[in-house]
């Protein structure tokens, strides 16, 4: 069974500082997704990482994938309040297997 582990599960960020969320998974996969979920809302697709060494960036978020280490990271640069949300990574084994999510709170 495919297992996906995220850490940390909770992250309190200070505005302007940098942070990283980690996603480890247990089997070979060449496609990994990052989603964002705001409270009471559905999931919004952030990134699709297609191959080893893939790096995608959008605004203050940057995601990378190391398929050999079975690790993806989501790096947040200079955190701002509107990044407060829960972030999920998911690995595609035709169905998506999700991590437990990282709840991010950005404080002034």
Binding another protein by CB under 8 A: which of 11, 22, 48, 70?
48
Sign of the C-alpha dihedral, residues 100, 36, 15, 62? positive
Q: Are 101 and 94 in contact (CB under 8 A)?
A: no
Residue 101 near another protein by CB under 8 A: yes
Residue 33 near another protein by CB under 8 A: yes
| Pick from 59, 52, 11: nearest CA to 32 | 52
C-alpha 86/C-alpha 88 separation (Å) is 7
Interface positions, 12-31, toward another protein (CB under 8 A): 31
Residue 96 near another protein by CB under 8 A: yes
Q: Which is nearer to another protein, 55 or 100 (CB)?
A: 100
* Contacts to another protein by CB under 8 A: 31, 33, 35, 41-45, 48, 88, 90, 92, 94-101
């Amino acid at each position: 069974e495919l297992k996906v582990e995220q850490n940390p599960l909770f992250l309190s960020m200070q505005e302007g500082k940098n942070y990283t969320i980690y996603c480890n998974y247990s089997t070979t996969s060449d496609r990994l997704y990052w989603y964002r979920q705001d409270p009471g809302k559905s999931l919004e697709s952030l990134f699709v990482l297609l191959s080893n060494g893939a790096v995608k960036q959008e605004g203050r978020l940057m995601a990378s994938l190391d398929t050999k280490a079975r690790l993806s990271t989501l790096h947040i640069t200079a955190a701002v309040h509107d990044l407060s949300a829960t972030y999920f990574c998911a690995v595609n084994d035709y169905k998506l297997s999700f991590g437990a999510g990282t709840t991010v709170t950005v404080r002034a």
